[in-house]
Amino acid sequence: MISFLQNNSMQPKLTSLQTRLFQAKAERKISFAELAEILGHEEVYVAAIFYGQAKPTEKDLARLSKALNIPMSHLTEAYGPQFYPDRGGLMENPPTDPLLYRLYEMIQVFGYPIKAVIHEKFGDGIMSAIDFSAKVDKEEHPNGDRVVLTLNGKFLPYKQF
């Protein structure tokens, strides 16, 4: 079985249905990119649904049900009108997974420099994680393939009162 499904304190806390989503995805050998095409969302958003970090619509659930061969009733029972994501809290801080730790490290090292550039360009405010999208691309490079992360968030200026 895939390592993220192991019951390990370093692994994200998933519900039984979230684990089932990952199992069905693996059994059907379907990627997040393929599911994104089916659902009409970006692949990072679809992955967020799997981790319980995004609220799928009924249309999303119907499409997931068909793509993953999971009864719609099972999906609506877990992700119905009563479901609201409990965002964050899937991992300890700092994270112990090497990839997640490197992202954390990037924020530790480049967080303030990025913040300074944002303030210079936009003023006093923040980048929204609500009005937000994320994309992961692969860029081939002779010295080793590159991961290209695009984080696209609306700028929200701080209000004076």
**Alpha carbon 108 to chain centroid distance?**
20
Say yes or no: 72 and 9 in one domain.
yes
Say yes or no: 29 and 58 in one domain.
yes
Our count of domains for the chain comes to 2
Please indicate, yes or no, if residue 90 is contained in any of the structural domains.
no
Domain of 66, in residue numbers: 3-79
Is 128 designated active site? yes
Is 146 designated active site? no
Please indicate, yes or no, if residue 18 is contained in any of the structural domains.
yes
Is 139 designated active site? no
Q: What is the pLDDT of residue 68?
A: 98
CATH of the domain at 38: 1.10.260.40
Those residues with Cβ within 8 angstroms of residue 132's Cβ, 6 or more apart along the chain or in another chain: 151, 152, 153, 154
Candidates 58, 105, 133, 146; catalytic one: 105
The pTM (predicted TM-score) of the whole model is: 0.82
Say yes or no: 63 and 104 in one domain.
no
Q: For the residues 98-102, what does the mean pLDDT come to?
A: 94
Candidates 102, 133, 140, 146; catalytic one: 102
Please indicate, yes or no, if residue 84 is contained in any of the structural domains.
no
Q: For residue 150, list its beta bridge partners.
A: 135
Say yes or no: 57 and 19 in one domain.
yes
Q: Which two tokens stand for residue 160?
A: 């004076």
Say yes or no: 57 and 107 in one domain.
no
Candidates 31, 73, 128, 133; catalytic one: 128
Say yes or no: 68 and 107 in one domain.
no
Q: Tokens 């009162």: give the residue.
A: 161
Q: What is the pLDDT of residues 48-85, one digit of tens each?
A: 999 999 999 999 999 999 999 999 999 999 898 899 98
Q: What is the pLDDT of residues 121-138, one digit of tens each?
A: 999 999 999 999 999 999
* CA atoms of 122 and 40, how far apart (whole Å): 31
Say yes or no: 7 and 64 in one domain.
yes
Please report which confidence band the pLDDT of residue 12 belongs to, taking 50, 70 and 90 as the band edges: confident
CATH of the domain at 141: 3.30.1160.10
Say yes or no: 64 and 12 in one domain.
yes
